[in-house]
Structure 1
Amino acid sequence: MDAVASTTYGRVRGTVEDGVAVFRGVPYAAAPVGSLRFAPPVAPASWDGERDATAYGPAAPQIGLDGVAAEIFAPAFPSGEDCLSLNVWTPDLGGAGLPVLVWIHGGAFLFGGSGDDLLDRGAFARSGVVVVSVNYRLGLDGFLHVDGDPAGGNYGTLDQLAALRWVQENIAAFGGDPGRVTVGGESAGATAVCALLAAPAARGLFARAIAQSAYPEPLLSQASGAIMAREVARGLGLADGDLEGVRALREREPERVIAVVKSLFEQAATRDAERFGDEIAALMNPFMPLVGGAVVPRRPLEAARAGELADVDLLIGTNRDEFRLVFGLGMMAIDDEIVGAIFEATFPGQGAEALALYAETRPDASPVDLLAALETDRSYRVGSTLLADAHAAQRPGSTFFYRFSWESAAFDGAIGAAHAVELPFVFDALDTPMARALTGDGAPQALADDVHRAWVAFVVSGNPGHAGLPDWPAYDATTRPVLELAGEHRLLRDPDGRELALWVAPAAEAA
């Protein structure tokens, strides 16, 4: 059965699937090629008649993944240059005033796409929410530092802004309310959401935000961007700052450029601060939103502490064992022998004491388990907590923090409540191949019911609480209430606060 809607550029024809109208591959900007490469997005050309919107558009050009990581996270459809498209799921094409969730996919700003089997399950639409998922430029195409560019290299962020403006102009034609937009994402998608919170051009484009397993602190500085621009040029055999040379090679030899980007990603994972600088070494990620310039002038944490973050409701949180997915996928080689050295490098002069503190509440943990806890805090929990502290101070009563702690059976139970394991529960899609790869067998539907319902409640009202959960108070920086989502939900107050203090106190003093 067909479904037809009108956009500002022309009519689109999608399908109706199990009562949900679905439109795929709808362009929100022109293909970023030629003179539009390393430039802000521009509007797509209009069309006559009805444009077919039954298939996903290409994912952005990206590095390839290997092994199990590819099976879980690689897009299920081809990548290509004409990648600036979005998809819409709506429960009522003829309705009006429905809440809207705009979903920004994760993938380290290097891989991924706007369509997967979790989204295709359509659970949010069946729960009364219009869903929009967005492709945006990745890696070099999305976040190359260019000297003198007022955009600051944030072409991927500009793509997301263009998609949000498309939503403001068009979502009413799909039954949605442009005044009830929530922007959400996981991992890199959540970090993109945090950048949008600090982006002046995003003001008024959304009323709520969801950040699942974000790494918002620090985003990369322009100085770090310049380091990566230099490394890209060297990898391609070009002079530093030769943008036209990069552009020309990107046009003629895209595979070669992608190979250089992948190599730099792998090298950044070695945390070579002497080569890449402290920020890239800490994040192990060479391409992501850049602070400075007109798009993201200040770090999200700085903007929040100055009272300049977007005036929106915020649902934010992390998974208990985020980093164990990295070890489970074999993306970082590690052994017990160097764990103490990493703790000492992280907390100079008190590494042994910090290691003992992490071990105190994990009596059966191996050294690698303790390292995973350390890296979970470094990469995800600390930045999310600091941002929640500042957002709650700027906008009291509107911040809600969760910790997802259900332990996956995947990877022979080795990953626990790892990065991305919450996604099948959020999207109520436990019966999909991607979900089974992340959760293993036996994932509890009751937990998916509770988590999905909480996210829907937040999108609808700004408060994720519901009758199936314990009381979930708004977050504040003094008591730090965190709702643990697991087999048995419970409210925690400043969970693992002594460990967090190792990180937060020095950061607060430096602010």
Structure 2
Amino acid sequence: MQAAEVTCPAGTVVGISDGVVDTFHSIPFLRTAAPFMDAEPAHTGILIDASQPRPDDIALTITTPAGASDTNDYPVIAYIHGGRFESGTHEDPRADGYANATQGIVQVQIGYRVGLEGFTRFPGDTPHHYRGIDDCNLALEWIQKNIEAFGGDPTNVTIVGQSAGATTALWLARKDHYRGAFRRIVAMSPCFPRQSYDDRKSDLSFAFGGMRLSRENLSKASPQRRLRAYKRFRNRHLLDMALGPHPLAPQEMADVDVVISSVRDEFYMNPPAQFADRIGLGALFARTLGRAMGIAPGQVSNWLGDARAMSPRNIAGRLIGDATIRRWVDIVAHEAPGRVWHAELHPDDRNPADHSRDIRPLFGAKPYSAGEGLNGWLVKYARTGEAGWPEFEKERNQSTLIVDLSGRNATVAQDPLGYIRQAFARLDSPQ
């Protein structure tokens, strides 16, 4: 390895190079006066050591073709990690940018505050404000100001988000958040809470022993106490998102292009679901919890019939996946104002189609390869903005690409999530 150096408005950034790809690890892009305060842009004009990963920092990691400069104008992919709004890092190896950089892409992996620091709301917060999501907006602003020096084109930025990161990407496209810093979104398995924060905050206060939830009180609580309280709070929302933005309101989104996807078997591997399905109680699980997880009154039996037809041994797993992920995918596909392409990913000969299994093939991480299957598609989409299969037309031609994780066996189906739309109640009333 040798040193790689870039000078940009943020400062002089010193990373590493293997002669093919330059990598700049864990670049600071924000600063906070205290953990629960809104962030500000990081200081500029400084020397930044980006030679070593610091996965616990809130930072950016950038990969570029070796020697890239401001004359290249490579497309930019900005990746926002998942982790249930409570974990994850900008150094996620599943989304490493090496494969993309070898194909002329500049990739930025974005870190942001998770857990209580990123997603607790306080009295006086503006509507729809979450510190973790605002951190991502600061990252996008940093990209606009600095990425040209790394060889990237700031006018051609594609956001890719998975799970909580997909939710964040869609939230950044809201008209009250969107600042023109990206052209398009790839949203993989977004997950929104079913309840508003106001409906959840009493559980969080209870987990702290009835403490009033304020910046001052949470700042005074020790990290150990905050962790214990969060675990108690999370346990009350095991089958939903304990944290995260609410509500999903596609009508509030700007007119940006969206590729929205899910994996077919999202939570077949979820431990409670696996247990219920293994002992033959998946249908009882669904009948007992279906209403609580969002199936409309009188629709549980109808949903069960469709679920049995698809995978009779994974009823509980399908319920969790449909309730937690796929219902939101269907709503975005039908109601986002911009162009939408919809995809459903199926197992390949290397991996089941379980939650998060689509990250490695999309980024060409081992055992997948650069330019292979989904990774080749992503690079082309970032360059051209065209998905390569029919657009999802909400009123008539609800075309969905069905493809396996390796990018093979592609077909186009019509409205494969219609059974979810018929069974699940709407949860889109503003709160």
TM-score with structure 1 length normalisation?
0.75
* Counterpart for residue 34 of structure 2: 36
Whole-angstrom CA distance in 1 between matches of 2:117 and 2:428: 36
Of stretches 235-244 and 16-25 in structure 1, the one that deviates more from structure 2 is: 235-244
Structure 1 position 104, deviation (Å): 0.4
The runs of 5 or more residues in structure 1 that have no matched partner are 60-82, 272-283, 292-298, 304-308, 411-415, 432-442, 466-471
Structure 1 position 174, deviation (Å): 0.5
* Counterpart for residue 464 of structure 1: 387
Matched ranges for 1:163-312 at <5 A: 163-216=139-192, 221-224=196-199, 227-228=200-201, 230-237=202-209, 239-249=211-221, 253-269=222-238, 284-290=240-246, 299-303=248-252, 309-312=253-256
Whole-angstrom CA distance in 1 between matches of 2:194 and 2:77: 24
* Counterpart for residue 265 of structure 2: 321
Query: What amino acid is aligned across from residue 417 of structure 1 in structure 2?
Result: A
* 1:383 matched to 2:328: yes
Q: 2:393 aligns with which of 446, 466, 476?
A: 476
In the superposition, relative to structure 1, how do residues 256 and 340 fare at CA in structure 2: closer, same or farther (>3 Å)? Answer: closer
Structure 1 position 426, deviation (Å): 0.4
Q: 1:137 aligns with which of 105, 108, 113?
A: 113
In the superposition, relative to structure 1, how do residues 332 and 240 fare at CA in structure 2: closer, same or farther (>3 Å)? Answer: farther
In the superposition, relative to structure 1, how do residues 4 and 331 fare at CA in structure 2: closer, same or farther (>3 Å)? Answer: farther
Structure 1 position 408, deviation (Å): 6.2
Whether the 8 Å contact between 1:203 and 1:310 is mirrored in structure 2 is no
Whole-angstrom CA distance in 2 between matches of 1:461 and 1:360: 38
In the superposition, relative to structure 1, how do residues 326 and 139 fare at CA in structure 2: closer, same or farther (>3 Å)? Answer: same
Give the structure with the higher percent strand.
2
Structure 1 position 18, deviation (Å): 4.8
In the superposition, relative to structure 1, how do residues 45 and 509 fare at CA in structure 2: closer, same or farther (>3 Å)? Answer: closer
Q: SS of the residue aligned with 2:79?
A: strand
Whole-angstrom CA distance in 1 between matches of 2:151 and 2:390: 32
* Counterpart for residue 23 of structure 2: 22
Q: 1:262-318: per-residue Cα shift (whole Å, max 9, x none)? A: 23212211x5xxxxxxxxxxxx11111245xxxxxxx43231xxxxx2222211110
In the superposition, relative to structure 1, how do residues 409 and 257 fare at CA in structure 2: closer, same or farther (>3 Å)? Answer: same
Q: 1:374-409: per-residue Cα shift (whole Å, max 9, x none)? A: 322222122111111112xx33xx321111102465
Q: SS of the residue aligned with 1:384?
A: helix
Whether the 8 Å contact between 1:456 and 1:464 is mirrored in structure 2 is no
Q: SS of the residue aligned with 2:5?
A: strand
* 1:507 matched to 2:430: no
Structure 1 position 119, deviation (Å): 3.3
Q: 1:39-60: per-residue Cα shift (whole Å, max 9, x none)? A: 2211223454x3211112342x
Q: SS of the residue aligned with 2:224?
A: helix
Whether the 8 Å contact between 1:195 and 1:300 is mirrored in structure 2 is no
Q: 1:153-191: per-residue Cα shift (whole Å, max 9, x none)? A: 500011000000000000101011111011111111111
The runs of 5 or more residues in structure 2 that have no matched partner are none
CA RMSD of aligned residues (A): 2.6
| Residue correspondences, number | 416
Q: SS of the residue aligned with 1:124?
A: helix
Whether the 8 Å contact between 1:185 and 1:210 is mirrored in structure 2 is yes
Structure 1 position 110, deviation (Å): 0.4
In the superposition, relative to structure 1, how do residues 242 and 450 fare at CA in structure 2: closer, same or farther (>3 Å)? Answer: closer
* Counterpart for residue 352 of structure 1: 301
Whether the 8 Å contact between 1:197 and 1:300 is mirrored in structure 2 is no
Q: SS of the residue aligned with 1:268?
A: coil
Whether the 8 Å contact between 2:286 and 2:315 is mirrored in structure 1 is no
Q: SS of the residue aligned with 1:36?
A: coil
Whether the 8 Å contact between 1:321 and 1:419 is mirrored in structure 2 is yes
Whether the 8 Å contact between 1:139 and 1:288 is mirrored in structure 2 is no
In the superposition, relative to structure 1, how do residues 493 and 84 fare at CA in structure 2: closer, same or farther (>3 Å)? Answer: same
Structure 1 position 247, deviation (Å): 1.1
In the superposition, relative to structure 1, how do residues 259 and 408 fare at CA in structure 2: closer, same or farther (>3 Å)? Answer: farther
Q: 1:84 aligns with which of 35, 58, 64?
A: 58
